[in-house]
Amino acid sequence: MKEITFGTLSDKIRATVEKHPGHGIGFIGPGQEQTFFSFPELLKTSAGLLHALQQRGIGAGDLVILSLEKGEEIIPVLWACLLGGIIPALLQPPVSFTEYNPAAEKSEKVFQILNGPYVIRSHYHAGSWSVSRIPVERQIEFPELSGDPQKALFHPGNPEDLALIQFSSGSTGEPKGVRLSHRNILANIGDIVKGIRLEPDDISVNWMPLYHDMGLVGFHLTPSVVGVNQYFVDPVDFVKNPSLWLDSLHRFRCTITACPNFGQLLINRYLSRKSDPDWNFSSLRIIFNGAEPISVPVMKAFLGQLAPFGLNPAAMLPAYGLAEATLAVTIPDIFQPAEVRTFLREPLLRQGIATEYTGDDPNTIELVNLGKPLDHSELKITSGTGHFLEEGKVGNVWIRGNNVTSGYFGSPEHDDLLFSGTWMKTGDLGFISRGDLFITGRSKDIIFVNGINYYAHDLEDIALRMEEIKTGKIIITGSFDESLGRDKVLVFLVGSPNDEMRLLCRKIKNRFSELLGLTTDLFIPIRSADIPRTSSGKIQRYKLTARFQKGGFEHLIQI
């Protein structure tokens, strides 16, 4: 397999058009209808869009925000930007600006961060944008872009040029614009292509949003560089009808796809109440699983649900990455089933020592092997003071490499916190075991009680072992209480504040007390709609904590 060479994404797109004129991109509608565009057709459309942008005075080095509804709009405009050296930032389109809406709030913040660029938006949301704080003269409707493909001026560029700005999904704070050069992106693409043996004959099907790094880099830019046929299911359509993705996997004989916890949970729920269709997933060789801490029970249930349809369990590929590293940092060896190892909970939490355990002990933690660094990536585990930690010691995950960002756009104060010399601090905690990476959690999701670090997602996993609690119905966070001198443990439960919930709260409290000696301080009933999530489905625990600290919850249960 030929290794990806550096250049620009524009170079790679045009090379793909020449080498694979019969390949292209299909968009799947909610009724399974398909619209397919060959790569040459997309290039022609994109060149026309580029000319239209250039007629408006938008050229190489200029920033634009893409807030578009459908993949049929996003991809041609994205290509136009890359071909013309225009620097795009892709955002989730807001539904409304007149009431609280995270996507609307983020759009207005990003507009300020990027110093007021043009916003290219869908016609579908024209009414919403009319009441935004973004001047109408900086808004461009997609249907207004009409130009002559023959008159578009392609920008030559170089590998160090800024290619795009990827706004982090925001699981732990305000949006930060990750600067990604052509070199960053192509280095990571080359590593991914090599790591998963991606070939032009592969077929990808994706429901992950294109404004998320997994959807954009993993399932558009990477397959486009190789010339892979791509099929896109709209994320909203997937959430409404998960079988649309499953039908597409079968219909197109898909070989590469992705489905993190959030998607797996939807599939598990869907299949638990539907009769078995006549699917065949034997062609699938890669299902990327990442974007959030991997739930072992959810993953096992997902594989079990799809096994009757010919899915090879070795297709499941856990991976570790983040937007600041373009996308991927580590992956395990492919063609091997996802490896789950068991570690004793107490030494892991108290001493930060990973001790493998093969016996039958309920006080253990199951963690997924995330593999070794890709060719252009390095990582190390460090102490709180930045000193290197040996294998088996839990610490901060630091990375560096050609795929790693040079920093955040317009935020030197954040850059100072992000880097230590040449190393970038990921904000994740983990350890190395037998050369492989294991992630234990986010540093900002740690709950610190009586000198012990508890991981929020691990506490949730403990609770989920109770029959009464379903996945996605419990969120646990910590809120520092000065009077106690420790974090107060908050348990958010989906449901109504009635006698039945109080009984469940008492069972949860007793479970944590007996198993961990941990006191749960408050239980807070919430609606499913109250759970804030990122574009990839990650829970934004910090938002629940902030709302609690502001007195934003009416009902508090103390047992």
Tens digits of residue pLDDT in 407-440:
999 877 778 889 999 999 999 999 999 999 999 9
| Cα–Cα distance for residue pair 291/273, rounded to 1 Å | 27
| Cα–Cα distance for residue pair 513/555, rounded to 1 Å | 23
| Cα–Cα distance for residue pair 208/212, rounded to 1 Å | 7
- Lowest mean pLDDT across 198-212, 235-249, 369-383, 525-539: 525-539
Check whether 344 has a pLDDT greater than 90.
yes
143-165 pLDDT, tens digit per residue, is: 999 999 999 999 999 999 999 99
Sign of CA pseudo-dihedral 71, 76, 81, 82: positive
Check whether 100 has a pLDDT greater than 80.
no
What integer pLDDT is reported at residue 549 of this predicted model? 87
Q: CB under 8 Å to 226, separation ≥6 — which residues?
A: 16, 193, 198, 199, 200, 202
Please list the alpha-helical segments (H only) found in 336-375: 345-350
| Cα–Cα distance for residue pair 484/313, rounded to 1 Å | 47
363-385 pLDDT, tens digit per residue, is: 888 999 999 999 999 999 999 88
Evaluate whether 527 touches 553 at the Cβ level (below 8 Å): no
Here the tokens at position 359 are 């016996």
| Cα–Cα distance for residue pair 181/162, rounded to 1 Å | 4
C-alpha atoms less than 13 angstroms from C-alpha of 197 in its C-beta half-sphere: 9
**Alpha-carbon radius of gyration of the chain:** 24
The arithmetic mean of pLDDT across residues 254-265, rounded, is: 93
Evaluate whether 344 touches 316 at the Cβ level (below 8 Å): no
Q: 0.85 exceeded by the pTM?
A: yes
Please list the alpha-helical segments (H only) found in 114-229: 126-129, 182-196, 213, 222-226
Evaluate whether 182 touches 157 at the Cβ level (below 8 Å): yes
Evaluate whether 320 touches 330 at the Cβ level (below 8 Å): yes
Looking at the DSSP bridge assignments, the partners of residue 230 are 25, 204
Here the tokens at position 380 are 């190390």
Q: What are phi and psi of 557, to 5 degrees?
A: -110, 120
- Lowest mean pLDDT across 67-76, 389-398, 466-475: 466-475
What integer pLDDT is reported at residue 395 of this predicted model? 95
